[in-house]
Structure 1
């Protein structure tokens, strides 16, 4: 490999200088930090944990995200994709985690998570035989649904965050900072050159943060309350294995393995211009399963590939594992130094919303690019259209499932990705294969008889 290639940020094995790499890695950290800690905070509140245990749960979210990301970047045996992806605690599991937490407690969450991680490993092992069931039309539908389902999160962030009081949510102050951040990102990305273009999200966050600070929107209280050093405690929360919790969690892990196929495919298509291999997809799913098994012992919640970071890779084309490895080290350090995470959490959500809305849009377009790799026959259009319609529709009107059992509401009523993934997968199997040429022949045959 040439010196130029080995130093390139656009080479998966490229190792640019630390000065060039660190800003690019930092924007990956900033893009995932709020999403990584928020599920832990939600679960801690539902399980009524003490303040010390709540802090530990947040700390372990960073710790396990760093470990999981490093495993994906630098695989151990067959565990890991060897692709530029960032892992973190996933929102997709939150509805299930909160229900299990309120019914069984935190021990049952980690016990069910342990089994679910093992299930994911088996899905990865047999993925090579299952790959034919995930053509671009299915993977693209999953990625497209992921992008569309993230829009409400981005808009809530831009309006200041869903936890704000009604009189403050959506205020001109929050929208002003969000729009300013967005404009800076767009200017840097579309008119900038070199690292200004590649680090456009980071620059937008910095500008938005400074303005938010001047407007009194930044609260530094969490920094003073956080400690300087703390080591995650194995088996601090314990494990329990209620059968209902295990079944619910295992289903979610299977569904999120399909989402992982979509995210990994989006990474290779958007950032590297090619389809993901069987080995990469299997390794990614097995790596996520192993990370979740390890996390269950340390107090880290279930992990998944982070779609916003997939979007950054697709938008910037920066795929160097060294750059994302630096991001993983920062995330891991935050698991040992709580003040690092505390500093990151001072970034107002309106700033993060303005910076990431373009990323979510890129995920959507990556899904469309995957879909159009297959021809848009009536069959394929039906698969995509119906999967999106029911997935997005039910997730926007969850009360439509109010008369169904609670387990159904938990699994299908809270995530468009779950419904769209399962429906696209099923329709692709049961609908008869028919190309555009086949459909045209059928129409001509019908006309000749009429």
Structure 2
């Protein structure tokens, strides 16, 4: 798909706005946990944008062996936040975090080719469940944004915040409905802009801090000191890297399904290597592990803009935002409820894409229970966030993500029921869906208007019984070997 430079930039900016709230949240959370000053927090955010942009360029444009060359936006992974905070609470500080990230990412880089070979274990029954779960797991993010984003704020969850989110949602839907295809495709971007204007009018947006601070600043390498390598942090971060590999594999498969691209183990490996290489270099520029952003998968699906160069343009914008903090402050001034209203459509679209994939599944055998169990298992940490709080830290790290929980369960159940078929019952499982009723075309081609069944007999509109014969008898009647039974008036139907 070839687009003009102007459209490429506009669609790329739409991707940036979609994920901006998500990409700056981890460094803000981590900076607060580390006790950093506002200026140091600002440096973390700028570095996060800069590295995320470079990682996006690597993933979308690619070089030999690195990059899936798919429309995937990269950024700091939420999956790492709890582990990073745990390392900080252990007293190691940011240098220990950065050291753990470097080693864990290098380990992930080594295992990426082997991890990618599990592609054959991701049939539609698995990918559909995982893609659906990606969308479901992002709905709480949209809800939090719609409420205001900061649970400590006085107006968090207020009717004004939720009303602004609802207004943005309505704008998305109305703009998507208009006859102009160009407007429909940038409906998310336009809705965010119009929603922000509405927020300014209502006094719910603050652009006063845009002019404060530096206009241009290159991220200072190793601004927090040389990395420190602690074995405990390295082990826990390596587990997180496996989670990131799982989530990125799911995102690659999801985007491949949406764009109609061929996804094989080699392409997955290239994508995973890009993730891990970006993550290994990220600490040099004071930031954290990189992974594909699931929310942007929904944007690809809802706009139909599948060009990887559009996302590459978004990566370029992120790099510029990282170098020009003033532009970052402009984008950061977009009210969170506006992003929440747009996120409802975006994240729901991801789930809908998964449901579309699941429609290709033949629900015989145990496929229904695979889908049901995987999605329910993935929802556990979403609806009950403290469910795994009593488990070992490494276990909680893996299964606290609804995406990785669903992916692991779906893969294991698919192996158990569809790969290792020994011991499977020949009859349909009690869990399997009843097959849909259907009639072959050649079975109804001989029927005419008025034919119907009465008491198990086929009757025409005159009330005469139509003989129902076996395929063998039908053939013999056609060749004259036996005589055609004479039609007789059906007594039960003679009064009609």
Question: Is TM more than 0.5 here?
Answer: yes
Aligned to 1:217: 204
Separation in 1, partners of 2:216, 2:50: 13
Go from structure 1 to structure 2 and tell me whether the alpha carbon gap of 1:53 and 1:401 turns closer, same or farther (over 3 Å shift): same
Separation in 2, partners of 1:432, 1:146: 23
* The structure with more radius of gyration: 2
Go from structure 1 to structure 2 and tell me whether the alpha carbon gap of 1:434 and 1:148 turns closer, same or farther (over 3 Å shift): same
Q: How does 1:352-363 map to 2 (within 5 A)?
A: 352-363=339-350
TM-score by length of 2: 0.81
Is 1:38 the counterpart of 2:34 in the alignment?
Answer: no
Aligned to 1:57: 44
Is 1:314 the counterpart of 2:301 in the alignment?
Answer: yes
Separation in 2, partners of 1:207, 1:443: 52
Count of equivalent residues: 426
Aligned to 1:3: none
Is 1:170 the counterpart of 2:154 in the alignment?
Answer: no
Q: Tell me if structure 1 keeps the 8 A contact 2:67–2:274.
A: yes
Q: Tell me if structure 2 keeps the 8 A contact 1:139–1:261.
A: no
Q: Tell me if structure 1 keeps the 8 A contact 2:61–2:309.
A: no
CA drift of 1:378 comes to 4.1
Work out which of the residue numbers 47, 66, 84 in structure 1 matches 2:71: 84
Q: Tell me if structure 2 keeps the 8 A contact 1:119–1:254.
A: no
CA drift of 1:268 comes to 1.8
CA drift of 1:321 comes to 2.6
Unaligned runs of 5+ in 1: 1-10, 445-450
Q: How does 1:211-360 map to 2 (within 5 A)?
A: 211-237=198-224, 238-270=226-258, 272-360=259-347
Q: How does 1:300-449 map to 2 (within 5 A)?
A: 300-412=287-399, 414-431=400-417, 433=419, 441=427
Q: Tell me if structure 2 keeps the 8 A contact 1:96–1:411.
A: no
Separation in 1, partners of 2:213, 2:123: 47
Unaligned runs of 5+ in 2: 431-496
Go from structure 1 to structure 2 and tell me whether the alpha carbon gap of 1:47 and 1:123 turns closer, same or farther (over 3 Å shift): same
CA drift of 1:433 comes to 4.2
CA drift of 1:274 comes to 4.3
Is 1:99 the counterpart of 2:54 in the alignment?
Answer: no
Is the partner of 1:398 in helix, strand or coil?
coil
Is the partner of 1:85 in helix, strand or coil?
coil
Is the partner of 1:224 in helix, strand or coil?
coil
Is 1:150 the counterpart of 2:107 in the alignment?
Answer: no
Q: Tell me if structure 2 keeps the 8 A contact 1:65–1:332.
A: yes
CA drift of 1:110 comes to 1.1
Q: Tell me if structure 2 keeps the 8 A contact 1:140–1:368.
A: yes
Aligned to 2:127: 139
Is the partner of 1:304 in helix, strand or coil?
strand
Go from structure 1 to structure 2 and tell me whether the alpha carbon gap of 1:441 and 1:290 turns closer, same or farther (over 3 Å shift): same
Is the partner of 1:400 in helix, strand or coil?
coil
Q: Tell me if structure 1 keeps the 8 A contact 2:145–2:340.
A: yes
Greater relative contact order structure (CA < 8 Å, 6+ sep) = 1
Post-superposition CA distance 1:366-397 (Å, at most 9, x none): 12223333322342222222222222123422
Separation in 2, partners of 1:144, 1:79: 27
Q: Tell me if structure 1 keeps the 8 A contact 2:148–2:156.
A: yes
Q: Tell me if structure 2 keeps the 8 A contact 1:123–1:257.
A: no
Separation in 2, partners of 1:20, 1:442: 52
Post-superposition CA distance 1:240-259 (Å, at most 9, x none): 22112111111111122111
Which structure shows the bigger proportion of residues in helix conformation? 1
Aligned to 1:448: none
The alignment yields a C-alpha RMSD, in angstroms, of: 2.1
Q: Tell me if structure 1 keeps the 8 A contact 2:119–2:264.
A: no
Q: Tell me if structure 2 keeps the 8 A contact 1:81–1:280.
A: yes
Work out which of the residue numbers 78, 88, 113 in structure 2 matches 1:125: 113
Work out which of the residue numbers 149, 167, 170 in structure 2 matches 1:183: 170
Is the partner of 1:88 in helix, strand or coil?
strand
Q: Tell me if structure 1 keeps the 8 A contact 2:52–2:318.
A: yes
CA drift of 1:36 comes to 0.6
Separation in 2, partners of 1:440, 1:427: 18
Is the partner of 2:227 in helix, strand or coil?
coil
Go from structure 1 to structure 2 and tell me whether the alpha carbon gap of 1:222 and 1:279 turns closer, same or farther (over 3 Å shift): farther
